[in-house]
Structure 1
């Protein structure tokens, strides 16, 4: 596994690199956005650890650009910014996880492994999923609707697939966090709400219903 660590704090770089290499992960580092792009051009990593506050760029802006070029690479924000707004925005923009500093290096490695396990599972999917007028490509993580194509983030994709494969079943927010984000994810229920909102925008408003006080369910045909 190749891990690209992007942070302008040399101490953080060394801590993370040592923790990853102790688990036999290959690492490369970048101290700013320029070095990030240079590294991506030379060798594509399996996962990116990205600081939000870089000297020459904002990580929230960078994640959007990375997603347009490398939509399948998992991204974990590693940042000192702890506000709920930053976390929600980061996940909404396409990050796969959000880790705040200070952190336990072993816990961080566990989060990296969890993200990669979910990537490997979703990478085995084939064919397409049709939802009303929308067609979801399970290989490219895209939704095509009325001639317009949009990319799904990895989390949006996994959340949609889980709901669509279980029509009529009500999932609590806690269940969705466990099944899509994993038991080791430390976010809260608002993370689910943000991703549901984005899916409704991309796929259609009528397919994911809110069950008040409980969670969400996927509905088709007469159920809608």
Structure 2
């Protein structure tokens, strides 16, 4: 894994979307106190407008908004801003709700109540990974699929496959070890952070999204193509088979 450095927090902008006065004020004050430029919005409509007029690095998004379901806000943000870091804040604890949030485009989630310390640690982990400079200089060719870590591009027969940030990083990690078994712990450390202490189901949802994107790209290809296959290794991790 390449050496990563912590980003300059003073240059990072965070949008908090939370209708609860106590939580919203706590988040805004805590983030600003730790060096993040922070704006606080209380509704989904206002959040979408704000995101379209100002540039943000991360959005902390409550699901229970008074006007629009937070899942719809997440989908809209992910479509418009593919590289935006989206962390869902939710009181919903059922797996189906959490998975729905991740599939809507969120990179991570926190279940309320949570501590500011945990939130800051998660933010640092995600932003540190995004600031890391890939060591690979040569694109990796996997049959008709090309993974270019330096350019952060994945192409099939020259046509780009638009992957979410974590989907691309997951594919790039597997592509560095074709034919090898890669443990879940290794993937969590390489794609998320070596000190990651969040939920590992994030990996499963991201992998499902990656597989779906690759399958759709193959179906849309104008000519027959060969793609590597991601194999699940029960109780261990995954393997990229050529």
Normalised by the length of structure 2, the TM-score is: 0.79
Structure 2: segments with no counterpart, 5+ residues:
1-11, 216-226
Aligned residue in 2 for 1:168: 179
Partner Cα separation in structure 1 for residue 109 and residue 137 of structure 2:
28
State the 1:132 CA deviation: 2.9
* Match status 1:184 vs 2:196: yes
Helix, strand or coil for the counterpart of 1:117?
A: helix
Partner Cα separation in structure 2 for residue 66 and residue 125 of structure 1:
30
Kindly report which structure 2 residues correspond to 1:4-43, keeping only aligned pairs within 5 A, or say none.
4-43=15-54
* Match status 1:218 vs 2:240: yes
Aligned residue in 2 for 1:62: 73
Higher relative contact order (CA 8 A, sep 6+): 2
- Deviation track 1:66-101 (CA, whole Å, cap 9, x = no partner) reads 111111111111111111112222222321110111
Kindly report which structure 2 residues correspond to 1:84-99, keeping only aligned pairs within 5 A, or say none.
84-99=95-110
Partner Cα separation in structure 2 for residue 142 and residue 130 of structure 1:
12
Partner Cα separation in structure 1 for residue 63 and residue 161 of structure 2:
25
State the 1:114 CA deviation: 1.2
Partner Cα separation in structure 2 for residue 139 and residue 54 of structure 1:
38
Task: Give the conservation status (yes or no) of the 8 Å contact 1:122–1:158.
Answer: no
Question: Comparing 8-17 with 114-123, which one deviates more in the overlay?
Answer: 114-123
Normalised by the length of structure 1, the TM-score is: 0.85
- Deviation track 1:84-123 (CA, whole Å, cap 9, x = no partner) reads 1122222223211101110101211111111111111268
Superposed CA RMSD in Å reads: 2.5
Question: Comparing 133-142 with 65-74, which one deviates more in the overlay?
Answer: 133-142
Structure 1: segments with no counterpart, 5+ residues:
none
* Match status 1:49 vs 2:71: no
State the 1:27 CA deviation: 0.5
